């Protein structure tokens, strides 16, 4: 790939060149990470040999600490090697929708949004909320946000499904225990070169006044944009930008991604029907439960991974769940 970038005329097609450079830099990052881990391994072996030969307890403790860090680094590069599906390396479009239950589920949806934004920050990814609909009293009615980073879609595939919360409701004067559900959907942000034919005549474009934060400007102009693909009923909207043009551009990207995912889903369902496979039912069968009362436990029902410190999980400590999901997925595919 480096030889290709050095050829005459490589930058004649700037868009294609940038795509190649992005892939090249990603591969270089993987190689660099492997080199770093191999150096850590050699240093760890030498330190261990020295600690054993000298019977040095201080060096032994240092070796143990370095080994813990080394295991985490190996786990991360192992995880990267699992992202081999076509769209794993893409940015992700994540949507959170509360289930039935009014304010309880809406508050749970907002808690999930906070959890994911904290996890995104810890991973070094970038996030951008494209659309959010606030609840009348508390919480959110829906939210769509974009996560940008290497293998963002691959990582977040582990979170797709229904999430269940059990707690003493802060909105119940009788302090009763409530169970709430919210669904999380994850689709890849498709690239421009993936062909999705959209007839402009099939689109209904509406503008409205943005309701979220963003200063005085968003409250006095109809800058928010909602685009509906009439034949399928697919809707995408954006109100995060100051400009109506920018909101329309982002909404179109989300619409393309949703139409592409719809097309892929139809193909999968058709193939499953031909194979006689039972279709997966996502809604109503939670992938993970977060219990805050009468005990504290977060449990993933697909992998069996449990965490007693639910507060830490809700603060974005999701890696153990994500890694276990992908490790099981890869094992099941072998």
Give the residue carrying structure tokens 């490589």: 10
H/E/C letters for each residue in 18-63? HHHHHHHHHHHHHHHHHHHHHHHHHHHHHHHHHHHHHCCHHHHHHH
Per-residue pLDDT, 91: 93
Tell me if residue 317 falls in helix, strand or coil.
coil
Q: If one looks up domain 200-275 in CATH, what number appears?
A: 3.30.160.20
Residue 28 and residue 25: Cα distance in Å, rounded?
A: 5
Own/partner contacts of 297-305, CB < 8 Å, gap of 24 or more, are 300/324, 300/325, 302/328, 303/327, 303/328
Per-residue pLDDT, 141: 93
Q: Full-prediction pTM beyond 0.85?
A: no
Q: Which sign, positive or negative, has the C-alpha torsion 32, 78, 127, 153?
A: positive
Name the DSSP letter for residue 237.
E
Asked if 31 contacts 38 with a C-beta cutoff of 8 angstroms, the reply is: no
Per-residue pLDDT, 175: 82
Cα separation of the two ends of the chain: 31
> Which two structure tokens, joined as six digits, stand for 54?
């000298």
Residue 18 half-sphere exposure toward CB, CA atoms < 13 A: 6
Asked if 34 contacts 77 with a C-beta cutoff of 8 angstroms, the reply is: yes
Asked if 163 contacts 286 with a C-beta cutoff of 8 angstroms, the reply is: yes
List, run by run, the mean pLDDT of 10-residue segments along the chain (334 residues).
90 87 86 92 94 91 93 85 86 92 92 97 94 90 94 94 93 87 92 78 90 48 88 92 89 92 83 52 72 95 96 96 92 84
Give the residue carrying structure tokens 């006044």: 209
Residue 38 and residue 67: Cα distance in Å, rounded?
A: 13
Q: Which sign, positive or negative, has the C-alpha torsion 108, 113, 117, 120?
A: positive
Where do runs of H (alpha helix) occur along the chain? Answer: 2-5, 14-54, 57-81, 103-123, 152-156, 216-220, 244-275, 310-314, 319-333
CA nearest 127: which of 324, 316, 327, 325? 316
Q: Which letter, b or e, does each residue of 180-215 get, where b requires 16 or more Cβ atoms within 10 Å of its Cβ?
A: bbbbbbbbbbbeeeeeeeeeeeeeeeeeeebeeeee
Name the DSSP letter for residue 175.
-
Options 2.70.70.10, 3.40.50.720, 3.40.50.2000, 3.30.70.1660; which CATH number does 92-189+287-333 get?
3.30.70.1660
CA nearest 187: which of 95, 118, 272? 95
């Amino acid at each position: 790939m480096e030889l290709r970038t050095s050829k005459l005329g490589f930058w004649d097609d700037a868009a294609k060149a940038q795509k190649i450079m992005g892939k090249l830099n990603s591969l270089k990052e993987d190689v660099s990470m492997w080199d770093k881990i191999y150096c850590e391994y050699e240093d760890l072996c030498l330190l261990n040999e020295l600690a054993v030969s000298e019977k040095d307890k201080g060096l032994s403790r240092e070796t143990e600490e370095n080994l813990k860090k080394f295991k985490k680094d190996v786990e991360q590069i192992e995880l990267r090697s699992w992202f081999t599906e076509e769209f794993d390396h893409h940015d992700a479009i994540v949507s959170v929708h509360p289930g039935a239950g009014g304010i309880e589920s809406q508050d749970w949806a907002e808690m999930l949004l906070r959890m994911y934004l904290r996890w995104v920050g810890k991973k070094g990814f970038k996030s951008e909320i494209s659309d959010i609909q606030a609840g009348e009293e508390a919480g959110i009615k829906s939210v769509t946000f974009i996560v940008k980073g290497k293998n963002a879609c691959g990582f977040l595939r582990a979170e797709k499904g229904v999430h269940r919360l059990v707690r003493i409701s802060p909105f119940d004067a009788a302090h009763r225990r409530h169970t709430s559900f919210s669904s999380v959907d994850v689709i890849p942000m498709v690239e421009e070169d993936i062909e999705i034919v959209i007839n402009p005549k099939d689109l209904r474009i509406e503008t409205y006044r943005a309701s979220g934060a963003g200063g005085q400007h968003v409250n006095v102009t109809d800058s928010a944009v909602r685009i509906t693909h009439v034949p399928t009923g697919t809707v995408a909207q954006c109100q995060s930008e100051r400009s109506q043009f920018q909101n329309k551009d982002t909404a179109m990207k989300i619409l393309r991604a949703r139409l592409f995912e719809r097309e892929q889903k139809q193909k999968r369902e058709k193939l499953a029907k031909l194979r006689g496979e039972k279709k997966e039912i996502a809604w109503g069968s939670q992938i993970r439960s977060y219990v805050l009362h009468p005990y504290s436990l977060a449990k993933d029902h697909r992998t069996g991974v449990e965490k007693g410190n639910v507060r830490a999980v809700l603060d974005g400590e999701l890696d153990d769940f994500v890694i276990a999901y992908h490790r099981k997925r890869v094992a099941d595919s072998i």
